[in-house]
Amino acid sequence: MGAEIVVIGGGVGGTIVANLVAKQTQGRAHVTIVDATGIHVYQPGFLYVAIGLEQPAALQRPESQLLRHDVSLVIDGATRVDAAAHMVLLESGRRLQYDHLVLATGSRTMMGEVPGGLGAYDFYTLAGAKRLFAALEAFNKGTIVIGVAGIPYKCPPAPVEFAFLLDDYLRARGIRDKTEIKLLSPLNRAFTIEATSKLVQPILAERGIELTGFFNVESVDPVAKTVTSLEGETMGYDLLILVPPHRGQQVIESSRLGDERGWVPVDKNTLKHAQLPDIWAIGDTTSIPISKSGSVAHYEATVAAAEIAAEVKGEAPPAHVYDGKVMCFLETGQGKATTIRFDYDHPPVSPSPARRWHWAKALFNKTYWHTVPQGRLP
């Protein structure tokens, strides 16, 4: 019998790793992927759902359609990993034995951790994006505040990107002159990456989007309609959009595989768990201080898959390790976008916003289903 490989999480990273391990081990391993919903969700599309430019149905596909025929899919929630027994316990009561385990459970959004924040809008979940679009459609004048209620969060440029898309949306509706957009950043610049912040800040100013730095959202008063920062500043709003605090999944916390927020410590090159040699973690679930993004999950998945396949085949570890590569698009509105690329050894670079990057992002969003889950680079 071949090695048993179990992958928990059928998102970007988990799906790629499952498909690649099955392909590269050529029948010498049995790969099982466990996903809580069985539905694969393309999260970057939430931004467009929130402004009515994408339909929710276009962002979801059954996970079974994205897997190779020789990968087994179990639709169930993993509740605990018993690392000593090499066992994954599922909600249904089923148990899965593994030789090699990959944690690819992504992250949870926790708006409830923000005092008074539960009524705030967000574009970090599909339900949140749909609710935000309904609110924007009913919005005719006033101040929209976009804030960040905790670091780290998925896709660091997303709040800036959403501010630009919102500006386009309000202009298209002819109500931009009756509205204000205020973007609150936890840092002294638009977002984490300095070079790209320098590039986008003049464009924010040109579009009349007010940027306030050092505003880490701490609490919301939904009656007074104010948001207060850790730094002690208070700002009024008519419509509040928050990036919710994030943390790792409950299964990570219950299994004591991560830190106090459920992020899993791994070797930043091999993605192997810091203490447990048969466990890998990839994507949002790791504690590596790098963008929580689909591109990182993708690059990491290819590395973890090659390492697992080599172990199954009794070969030496592959020479190629994860080098910290990140590649993201950032919409700057009015039909233009830029990109952000870097790795552990090279600082971020972003070209001047251009139409071709906007179209490249649109093309990537549409072709995602046919390239990324299979581990192909588009």
- Residues in the site for ligand FAD, rule: CB under 6 A? 8-14, 34-37, 43-44, 46-47, 77-78, 104-106, 123-124, 154-155, 158, 249, 251, 283-285, 292-295, 297, 328-329
Q: How far is the CB of 31 from ligand FAD (least distance, A)?
A: 15
**Number of helices and strands (H, E) in the chain?**
8, 21
Nearer Cβ to ligand FAD (141/366): 366
Q: How far is the CB of 21 from ligand FAD (least distance, A)?
A: 15
- Phi/psi of residue 328, each to 5°? -135, 155
Cβ proximity of 135 and 171 under 8 Å: no
Strand order of the sheet with strand 100-103? 71-75, 29-35, 3-8, 100-103, 279-281
Q: How far is the CB of 341 from ligand FAD (least distance, A)?
A: 12
Q: How far is the CB of 232 from ligand FAD (least distance, A)?
A: 29
Cβ proximity of 150 and 107 under 8 Å: no
Which residue has the CB atom at the shortest distance from ligand FAD? Answer: 11
Q: How far is the CB of 240 from ligand FAD (least distance, A)?
A: 17
- Write the Ramachandran bin of 304: left for phi over 0, alpha for psi from -120 to 50, otherwise beta: alpha
Q: How far is the CB of 114 from ligand FAD (least distance, A)?
A: 17
Nearer Cβ to ligand FAD (179/249): 249
**CA–CA separation, 15 and 244 (whole Å):** 25
Nearer Cβ to ligand FAD (235/337): 337
Cβ proximity of 282 and 252 under 8 Å: no
**CA–CA separation, 319 and 306 (whole Å):** 10
Spatial CB neighbours of 174, under 8 Å, sequence gap ≥ 6? none
Nearer Cβ to ligand FAD (125/143): 125
Q: How far is the CB of 223 from ligand FAD (least distance, A)?
A: 28
- Phi/psi of residue 186, each to 5°? -70, -20
Cβ proximity of 299 and 269 under 8 Å: no
Q: What's the chain's Rg over C-alpha atoms?
A: 21
